[in-house]
Structure 1
Amino acid sequence: MRCDVWWARPAAVTPGLLNLLDDVEQTRFDGYRREIDKQRFLTGRALIRGVAAAELGVAAKDVVIDASCFDCGKPHGKPKVAGLEVSISHSGDWVALALTDATPVGVDVEEVRDAEVDGLAGIAFSPAELTAFEKVPPARKKAAFFTYWARKEAVVKATGKGMSVAMSKLTLSAYDEPPRVVASNAPEVDVAAVHMADLDVGDGYRACVAVFGTDEPKVTERDAAALIGALG
């Protein structure tokens, strides 16, 4: 089983990239106030269409993306492309796309930034994780928190339900150990079926991909700069 992870920097807004958006996506794009948010969203949609087009043998403009939310039906859910499984994430200077051959997948990238990590941990961590997190040296706590967070979000994204699956129902391995789900009180997450891999995105970031299935996936990380450039 293969899992490709594509990395891109937020691209400048160009007519070529804008032309890839459908009407619903154009409305979402127009609704963003900050330029960086526009760039991240546009890059993410271009990345999905460019990679999916090559996989499916169609033009990028012809790739249909359904982002209907699992709960409310509004177009802010996990993107879906017929014949493939995709997951998108962005943070800071990175946009990530994970793709498999229709096997559930989730990807998350997090910039290690200033945050009230103890308070957030109290909401997102299981009791066992909180006990372990309290023992993390203060100098490592911020990076440890975002390691946990990226791993957990990758798993809940793979369910297709996203944050409606409470992160606190999952217990993961320690931040300084290989990623895996140790225990799950969420019916959407079968411990035996979750395969995880940390991703190498450089200093100041934590990233992870999660794939659901019987076999361990072969994860390959790819640079999408040339692909985005060709589309724009």
Structure 2
Amino acid sequence: MWWASARDAHPRLRELLDEGERARADRLRKPAARALHLTAHALARTVTAAQLGVSTDELTLTAVCKQCGGPHGKPQPPRPLRLSWSHSGERVVVALTLGTDIGVDVERIAPCEQETADRVLAPPERAALAALPSAERPAGFVRYWTRKEALLKSTGDGLAVAPELLHVTAPAAAPRLLSWSGPDRPWLPLHLYDLDAGPGHLAALATVGAPVRPTRHDGSALLAALHTPTDLLAGPVDPILPTAERPLAS
């Protein structure tokens, strides 16, 4: 996983995006949203292209909807590399695996409307959230949400599957999917991990089939190197990891 920040956004990163990504960035009215979009997409394209040994110009990410087969949904590079990314608040995370479908989600901790909790949480989750001290409920809800979002992104379903159909462990418990109601549950086992997203944020990672060994890398340094003159760098910054450190399924 590569972690970065909205503060890493730089005009030169726009050159790394494809035409569609640049067009979507231009439609975002809020500067903070544009910064997150630029950082996330530039980082995702940079580390993915490096793992494949191609330039960002040569990288093609395709999306095929799991539900209808249309050209939308979770963007993916050529197999066997699998990709997921997320951004919220100040944080950006990009996750890569080889041969294992993956989903990652990061969210800023913020108060949640009761109506939202009622709509996306399973009944036991709503009861557990209500039992928390009021000061702990915003983080408790975000913990639930990031786990569910990561799971649904890993399977490629996204919000086409109602989040309340998934029942995950309570916020303070080890992350695990307890049940998935309805006909869309995957046959392969799902593995769930809580991540350290830094102050004010929570994050989760999920994989389908095989467990993984999450490793953390500095996406901020990588993006800074892309627009820093070579003679000012202390040493080379290479997004292609040594074989022993690449994000392999364990």
Distance 2:182 2:217 in 1: 32
How do 1:183-198 and structure 2 match up within 5 A? 183-190=179-186, 193-198=189-194
* Displaced runs of 4 or more, over 6 A: none
Does the alignment pair 1:139 with 2:105?
no
TM-score (norm 2): 0.83
SS in 2 for 1:108: strand
Does the alignment pair 1:78 with 2:92?
no
- Number of aligned positions between the proteins: 224
Structure 1 residues not aligned, in runs of 5+: none
The 8 Å contact of residues 181 and 191 in structure 1, kept in 2 or not, is answered as no
The 8 Å contact of residues 103 and 153 in structure 2, kept in 1 or not, is answered as yes
Please tell me the residue identity of whatever aligns with 2:220. Answer: A
* Displacement of 1:191: 7.9
Distance 2:186 2:175 in 1: 15
SS in 2 for 1:36: helix
Does the alignment pair 1:98 with 2:95?
yes
SS in 2 for 1:55: helix
* Displacement of 1:17: 1.4
What residue number does 1:52 align with? Answer: 48
What residue number does 1:111 align with? Answer: 108
What residue number does 1:28 align with? Answer: 24
* Displacement of 1:121: 1.3
Does the alignment pair 1:13 with 2:4?
no
Seen in structure 2, the aligned counterparts of structure 1 residues 191 and 123 have a Cα distance that, compared at 3 Å, is farther
How do 1:190-229 and structure 2 match up within 5 A? 190=186, 193-213=189-209, 215-229=210-224
Distance 2:10 2:63 in 1: 21
Does the alignment pair 1:180 with 2:185?
no
Structure 2 residues not aligned, in runs of 5+: 228-250
SS in 1 for 2:216: strand
* Displacement of 1:70: 4.5
* Displacement of 1:74: 5.8
Please tell me the residue identity of whatever aligns with 2:160. Answer: S
* Displacement of 1:157: 0.7
* Displacement of 1:81: 0.8
TM-score (norm 1): 0.89
The 8 Å contact of residues 155 and 186 in structure 2, kept in 1 or not, is answered as no
Q: Residue by residue, what CA displacement relative to the aligned partner does 1:128-167 show, whole Å, maximum 9, x if unpaired?
A: 2122222122121111011101111000111112111111
Moved more, 16-25 or 63-72: 63-72
Distance 1:20 1:67 in 2: 19
The 8 Å contact of residues 17 and 45 in structure 2, kept in 1 or not, is answered as no
* Displacement of 1:211: 0.6
Aligned identity (percent) is: 39
Seen in structure 2, the aligned counterparts of structure 1 residues 186 and 104 have a Cα distance that, compared at 3 Å, is farther
Seen in structure 2, the aligned counterparts of structure 1 residues 71 and 41 have a Cα distance that, compared at 3 Å, is farther
Highest RCO, 1 vs 2 (Cα 8 Å, sep ≥ 6): 1
* Displacement of 1:6: 1.1
The 8 Å contact of residues 87 and 105 in structure 2, kept in 1 or not, is answered as yes
Please tell me the residue identity of whatever aligns with 2:125. Answer: E
SS in 2 for 1:52: helix
The 8 Å contact of residues 7 and 94 in structure 1, kept in 2 or not, is answered as yes
The 8 Å contact of residues 147 and 204 in structure 2, kept in 1 or not, is answered as yes
